[in-house]
A = this chain, B = another copy of it.
Amino acid sequence: MTDEMAGAGLSVQTVATNEIEDAADRALIARYRSVRAQTLALAAPLGAEDQVVQSMADVSPTKWHLAHTTWFFETFILRDHAPGYRVFDAQFNYLFNSYYEAVGPRHARADRGLLTRPALDEVHAYRAHVDARMEALLADEAALRRMDGLAELVELGLNHEQQHQELLLMDIKHVLSCNPLRPAYAERAGKNADRAPPLRWLSFAGGTHEVGHAGRGFCFDNETPRHRCWLEDFRLASRPVTNAEYRAFIADGGYEEPRWWLADGWQTVRNERWRAPLYWYEQDGEWMEFTLHGGRALDPAAPVVHVSYYEADAYASWAGKRLPTEAEWETAATSGTGAAGPVPFRLHPPPAAGDADLEQMTGGVWEWTASPYTAYPGYRPAPGAVGEYNGKFMVNQMVLRGGCCVTPVGHVRSSYRNFFYPHQRWAFAGIRLAEDAA
């Protein structure tokens, strides 16, 4: 999803009220503080100038992320639910509304980089102002229980903010990559792995399966309703495609050979003069990669990342395989063959560790699926302002699954549906192969 989509959906079934009430409302306030602090921590390594620039229309400035996530709490919670709340600055509704048509006119997305004012300091003050009122509200247990759906709205706001944490990193990576100096967002400890574990194929049985969100935890509405679908037997690769494997595709002339490409993909390759993933570049005849740690030699064992759907599909064709559907992916992910826990947060996807049957289903790279992003059968847009446009992005985009190294830990689920246009490459997106069983 682009930030246009972050927080697009309030789940219609995210009731989960017992859970929240039982663990006491203090859990929510603690979680609020934690998530909000994490956003500031992610911006901390950046100077004021880094935080204002927009390097392409898809990218938002860091400062805008800081303000927009705050605006979300102000607009959808404080303005309506906090008695006597005074809006911090009436003009911010125009500046920091992302795409909610019902909330009024807004600053054009492609012009977010023109906002030298409010200055970063003012945005920090805005955050502090809203946080103080939010924390007061969350500390008022009576109020929380009195207001129907408030806890769910807060939970939505926190998930929304987590999505923007990932976007912030994707976006600043693009901003920094446009600078000929190739500055690092953060220094890096450690070195490249020697090699990735060999690729294995895991088999899964077809039949009628259920997919979509189950249980009481939070989810976005596009994960619902849980529903049946029919699958044929299929096989899934044990790990994502590596840089070394992808480099072989390039070396074999992959970007010059139309037979591997979808027609729209081939058109894009030629128009954009693509010849490698987004952040690859050549230096003295060797492939290098720009990362959040700056430029460095390509790590052959790490997953290939920052490829478009077109490239993922072309690679799969060249390899004689295909991409999985999202139903296949979800079925495999819930089969119990994966690693025990998520890979920890990292600024670049590490090589697979060779420690499970199905590796890096989370925490490595978002994995392009063969499934266009559409409504599940029986999907209903949520009522009200927040959910006004729940389904409005359900065309022209492809689903990605699994989360990536810069996704906040705990944010994703096996039913989580991310989505991007097939030409987009600035997300941490990679490739996992599939094939028919027979």
Binding site for B on A (CB under 8 A): 4, 47-53, 55, 63, 91, 94-95, 99, 101-102, 107, 111, 113-120, 175-176, 178-181, 183, 208, 227-232, 258-259, 261-266, 309-310, 313, 370-372, 374-375, 377-378, 388-389, 391-396, 398, 422, 436
Contact = CB atoms under 8 A, between A and B. Distances in A.
Contacts of A392: 261-263, 266
Contact of A394 (B4, B113, B208, B262): B262
How many copies of this chain does the complex contain? 4
Contacts of A389: 259, 263
A430 B420 CA distance: 28
A421 to B, nearest CB: 9
Nearest to A4: B263
Nearest to A92: B181
Nearest to A111: B178
B55 A114 contact: yes
A372 B372 contact: yes
Given A208-B208, A264-B395, 18 more contacts: A47-B48, A47-B119, A49-B52, A49-B119, A49-B120, A50-B116, A50-B117, A91-B180, A94-B180, A111-B178, A115-B179, A229-B230, A261-B392, A262-B395, A313-B395, A371-B374, A377-B436, A395-B422
Contact of A181 (B99, B118, B231, B374): B118
Query: Lowest 3 CB-CB distances: which A-B pairs, in order?
Result: A372-B372, A49-B52, A114-B178
Nearest to A261: B392
B375 A374 contact: no
Given A119-B49, A392-B261, A370 B378 contact: no
